């Protein structure tokens, strides 16, 4: 094409761009929702990109997938029913299935192409779909949650892409209302919550909505993910009104879970110390993002 794309003019991280050396393009198609790209990188393994935004790399996906799952699931006693919103690559499912107390996992992913591409190029993530407890729903999570039975889930994990494009409505109040309704009293939500370096306004908006919607506690945690913009990603942890949930000190520590580590592939990032440390926040975040 004659004109190079303007890398610096994007809504989520204006003025910055991240580059990874491409060895070989393995897949590039447009689904009904987004452009799906897979390439072999020089130093991060295979990389999944949606609409030009890095979703995961083989090298560092463990940080995000392990934290987004074990921060909520290790904060409640024996979680049984779990809902995953998004997560079509299967990585979150792989992590949920480490918890032997879980009996039923629903996943609602809007884009079948993401599932097919993950099965072909990311078998270490798509392995999550093989668990017999998994029930796949391909469709819009907004509709799925509207029809979900009240108090159905112990935990809901929103593994979304950025709120530009298909995932736009996943940061709005009506969606959080349906999540709160679908969770049991004392149930927990873990929501992808962008970067404390880049998105404090969006994080504040989400926290304000969640404080209203979840009468229980609202906490912000974060992890290092080198291939995400600014090198960190955040997680919003909420509990519905009911038995109080202490997010910072896991009452269901992963180290005590039978079989959690021999599972499909050992944990590479998450442990109980990383769990508690993830809630420690820099001064500027405490000032800019009021959690109280």
Is 60 among the catalytic positions? no
Active-site entry in 60, 89, 154, 159:
159
Q: What is the CA radius of gyration of the chain?
A: 18
Q: What is the C-alpha to C-alpha distance for residues 28 and 124, in angstroms, rounded to an integer?
A: 20
| Contacting ligand JFQ within 142-181 (CB under 6 A) | 159, 161-162
64 binds ligand JFQ (CB under 6 A): yes
- Give the C-alpha separation, 27 to 21, whole Å: 16
Q: Which of 79, 91, 166, 234 binds ligand JFQ (CB under 6 A)?
A: 91
HSE at residue 210, side-chain half, CA atoms within 13 A, is 28
Question: Of the ranges 70-78, 87-95, 202-210, 272-280, which one interacts with ligand JFQ (CB under 6 A)?
Answer: 87-95
DSSP string for 4-73: ---TT--SSSTT------EEEEEEEEE-SSSEEEEEEESSS-EEEEETTEEEEETTTHHHHHHHHHHHHH
Is there binding between residue 228 and ligand JFQ (CB under 6 A)? yes
Is position 60 an interface residue for ligand JFQ (rule: CB under 6 A)?
A: no
- Residue 89 binds ligand JFQ (CB under 6 A): yes
Out of 55, 57, 81, 213, the only residue in the binding site for ligand JFQ (CB under 6 A) is: 55
Judged by CB under 6 A, does residue 247 bind ligand JFQ? no
Q: Which residues are known to be catalytic?
A: 159
Task: Please report, as ranges, the residues that interact with ligand JFQ according to CB under 6 A.
Answer: 53, 55-56, 64, 87, 89, 91, 159, 161-162, 192, 228, 233
């Amino acid at each position: 094409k004659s004109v190079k794309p303007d890398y610096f003019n994007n809504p989520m991280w204006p003025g910055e761009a991240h580059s990874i050396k491409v060895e070989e393009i393995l897949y590039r198609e447009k689904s009904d929702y987004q452009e799906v790209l897979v390439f072999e990188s020089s130093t991060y393994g295979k990389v999944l990109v949606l609409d030009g935004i890095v979703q995961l790399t083989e090298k560092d996906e463990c940080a995000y997938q392990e934290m987004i799952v074990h921060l909520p699931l290790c904060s409640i006693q024996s979680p049984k029913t779990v809902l995953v919103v998004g997560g079509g690559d299967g990585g979150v499912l792989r992590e949920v299935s480490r918890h032997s107390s879980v009996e039923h996992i629903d996943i609602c992913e809007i884009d079948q192409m993401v599932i097919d591409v993950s099965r072909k190029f990311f078998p270490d993530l798509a392995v999550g779909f093989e668990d017999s407890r998994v029930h796949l729903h391909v469709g819009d999570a907004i509709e799925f949650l509207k029809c979900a039975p009240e108090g159905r889930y112990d935990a809901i994990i929103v593994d979304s892409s950025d709120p530009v494009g298909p995932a736009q409505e996943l940061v709005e109040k009506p969606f959080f209302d349906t999540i709160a309704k679908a969770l049991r009293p004392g149930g927990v939500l873990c929501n992808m919550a962008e970067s404390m370096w880049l998105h404090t306004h969006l994080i504040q908006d989400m926290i304000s909505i969640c404080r209203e919607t979840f009468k229980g506690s609202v906490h912000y945690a974060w992890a290092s993910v080198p291939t995400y913009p600014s090198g960190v990603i955040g997680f919003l942890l909420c509990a519905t009104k009911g038995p109080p949930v202490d997010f910072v000190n896991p009452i269901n520590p992963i180290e005590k879970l039978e079989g959690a580590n021999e599972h499909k592939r050992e944990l590479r990032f998450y442990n109980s110390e990383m769990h508690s440390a993830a809630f420690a926040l820099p001064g500027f975040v405490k000032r800019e993002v009021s959690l109280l």
